[in-house]
């Protein structure tokens, strides 16, 4: 988290507070001077040598003082807004790999390491009933499988993606194009609060107090794709911002998925074009889960056996009881009788059957012959 005594942290925030210093200009300054702190140790003449900086930006850097920074930090504390600077251990690891990663993330709620297993779900604000149903159901199934849903809290597809994850009691993160206390659209304020209350998070690079501006939405979209292993486009017109998110995903070397739509629907022209251009066609959640690829290093099971198979997203989020049962199933090359699971785990029959059902829902195991289970 933000360390008020860390010179680089303070300098990153001063850069964020300097009007006109966007992600690209901030990176130009860092490339030129080597570190955030070094930017503010430089002279006005040194700043002027940076291509494209101009007198207005130089004046903005000069006005971004420590006094202004301390007042800003006090405001964030009052409004329960956490600051996570680039380079901090809590900064999302996947986001660090994009070329224009935000210098400071302003967060309300909780980011967890397992959020690295995530899919961005985006689409048009003018969604159809078909698109809403697809976004909700796919997000619901992904969340059940242990995948965090990333979206932009916009009307239409974004809203249905967040609701689908919440209905599955899964995790979801909303990336805002505004300040934390300026939720847009206003009618989604209750949804934003529900995301935080569920254990998820609202994330933005926009300063608290910032109102949503047209240019902030494309910038926001690079964060959605940057936080995600892949981006799913559900419905999108040719000019939809969702296609900007898909383009960012390609540039960031992430997967792009798309749900096919009716050929005569304007709201499907963009998503159908993505499929034509090589995006992975999605008809069910398995089309996404089967294409996420190896997610992390092999898992060391409680039995002491290292599993060399690439873990599924849901496998990385099992609770202690689920892990205990799943490890026993994985230790067998064939079907494991339920009686054997009871013997090895020591769980009461009712508890064991509940765990088996939960693992089936996550598509980690399946029943065979009624009285045995096997790894899926």
pLDDT digit string (tens) for 21-64? 988 898 899 999 999 999 999 999 999 999 999 999 999 999 99
195 lies in some domain: yes
Peptide bond into 310 cis (omega under 30): no
pLDDT one-digit tens code per residue, 5-25: 899 999 999 999 998 898 889
Q: How confident is the model at residue 316 (pLDDT cuts 50, 70, 90)?
A: low
Q: What is the pLDDT of residues 256-271, one digit of tens each?
A: 999 999 988 999 999 9
User: In terms of domains, do 196 and 325 share one?
Assistant: no
Flag whether 87 is in a domain.
Answer: no
CATH of residue 59: 1.10.150
pLDDT at position 354 over 50: yes
- Give yes or no: residues 283 and 306 share one domain: no
Same domain (yes/no): 142, 28: no
Is residue 38 assigned to a domain?
yes
Pair (312, 340) in one structural domain: yes
Give yes or no for residue 309 having a pLDDT over 60: no
Burial bucket for residue 109 (CB in 10 Å: 0-12, 13-18, 19+): buried
Q: Give the domain CATH number at 326.
A: 1.10.10.10
One domain, residues 162 and 27: no
pLDDT greater than 60 at residue 295:
no
Residue 252 belongs to a domain: yes
pLDDT at 100: 86
Q: Is the pLDDT of residue 214 over 60?
A: yes
Domain count for the chain, please give it. 3
Q: Last residue of some domain: 248, 270, 289?
A: 289
Task: Give which of 215, 216, 203, 121 is closest to 177, Cα–Cα.
Answer: 216
222 inside domain: yes
**Is residue 230 included in any domain, yes or no?**
yes
Residue 98 lies in a domain: no
Task: Provide the pLDDT for residue 291.
Answer: 80
Give tens-digit pLDDT for 126-150. Answer: 999 999 999 999 999 999 988 999 9
Do 201 and 149 belong to one domain? yes
Residue numbers of the domain that contains 60: 1-78
Residue 304 clears pLDDT 70, i.e. is over it: no
The verdict on 146 and 282 lying in the same domain is yes
**Whether residue 134 is found in the same domain as residue 283:** yes
The domain boundary residue, chosen from 262, 289, 316: 289
303 and 280 in one domain?
no
372-375: strand order across its sheet: 336-337, 372-375, 365-368
310 and 352 fall within a common domain: yes
CATH of the domain at 149: 3.40.50.450
Q: DSSP 3-state helix, strand, coil percentages of the chain (rounded to 5)?
A: 50, 15, 40
Domain presence at residue 86: no
pLDDT of residue 146: 87
Give the pLDDT mean for 96-118.
Answer: 92
How far, CA to CA in Å, does 326 sit from each of 7, 266, 313, 341, 363? 47, 46, 14, 10, 12
Same domain for 259 and 329? Answer: no
Q: What is the pLDDT of residue 294?
A: 45
- Dump pLDDT digits (tens) for 148-207: 999 999 999 999 999 999 999 999 999 999 999 889 999 999 999 999 999 999 999 999
Q: What is the rounded CA–CA span in Å between residue 376 and residue 320? A: 20
Strands (DSSP E) found in the chain: 82-85, 104-109, 118-122, 148-151, 172-175, 201-204, 230-233, 255-258, 280-281, 299-300, 306-307, 336-337, 365-368, 372-375
Query: 186 with 62, same domain?
Result: no
Q: Which of 231, 258, 289 finishes a domain? A: 289
Task: Using the predicted structure, report yes or no on whether residue 299 has a pLDDT greater than 60.
Answer: no
């Amino acid at each position: 988290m933000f360390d008020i005594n860390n010179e680089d942290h303070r300098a990153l925030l001063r850069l964020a507070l300097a009007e006109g210093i966007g992600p690209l200009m901030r990176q130009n300054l860092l490339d030129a001077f080597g570190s955030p702190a070094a930017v503010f140790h430089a002279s006005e003449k040194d700043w002027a040598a940076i291509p494209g900086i101009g007198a207005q930006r130089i004046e903005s850097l000069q006005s971004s003082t420590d006094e202004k920074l301390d007042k800003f930090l006090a405001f964030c504390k009052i409004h329960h807004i956490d600051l996570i600077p680039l380079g901090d251990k809590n900064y999302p690891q996947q986001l660090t790999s994009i070329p224009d990663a935000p210098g400071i993330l302003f967060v309300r709620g909780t980011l967890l390491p397992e959020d690295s297993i995530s899919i961005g779900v985006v689409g048009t604000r003018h969604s159809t009933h078909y698109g809403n149903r697809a976004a909700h159901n796919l997000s619901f199934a992904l969340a059940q499988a242990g995948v965090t849903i990333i979206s932009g809290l916009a009307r239409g597809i974004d809203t249905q993606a967040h609701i689908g994850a919440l209905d599955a009691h899964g995790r979801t993160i909303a990336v805002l194009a505004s300040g934390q206390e300026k939720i847009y659209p206003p009618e989604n304020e209750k949804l934003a609060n529900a995301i935080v209350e569920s254990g998820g998070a609202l994330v933005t690079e926009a300063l608290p107090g910032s109102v949503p501006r047209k240019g902030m939405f494309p910038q926001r979209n690079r964060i959605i794709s940057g936080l995600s292993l892949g981006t799913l486009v559900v419905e999108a017109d040719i000019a939809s911002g969702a296609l900007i998110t898909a383009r960012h995903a390609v540039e960031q070397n992430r997967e792009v998925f798309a749900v096919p739509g009716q050929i005569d629907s304007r709201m499907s022209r963009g998503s159908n074009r993505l499929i034509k251009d090589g995006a992975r066609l999605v008809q069910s959640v398995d089309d996404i889960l089967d294409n996420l690829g190896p997610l992390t290093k092999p898992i060391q099971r409680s039995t002491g056996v290292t599993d060399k198979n690439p873990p599924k997203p849901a496998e990385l989020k099992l609770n202690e009881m689920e892990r205990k049962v799943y490890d026993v199933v994985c230790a067998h090359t064939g079907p494991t009788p339920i009686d054997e699971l009871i013997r090895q785990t020591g769980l009461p029959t009712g508890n064991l059957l509940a765990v088996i059902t939960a693992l089936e829902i996550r598509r980690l195991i399946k029943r065979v012959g009624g009285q045995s289970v096997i790894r899926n």
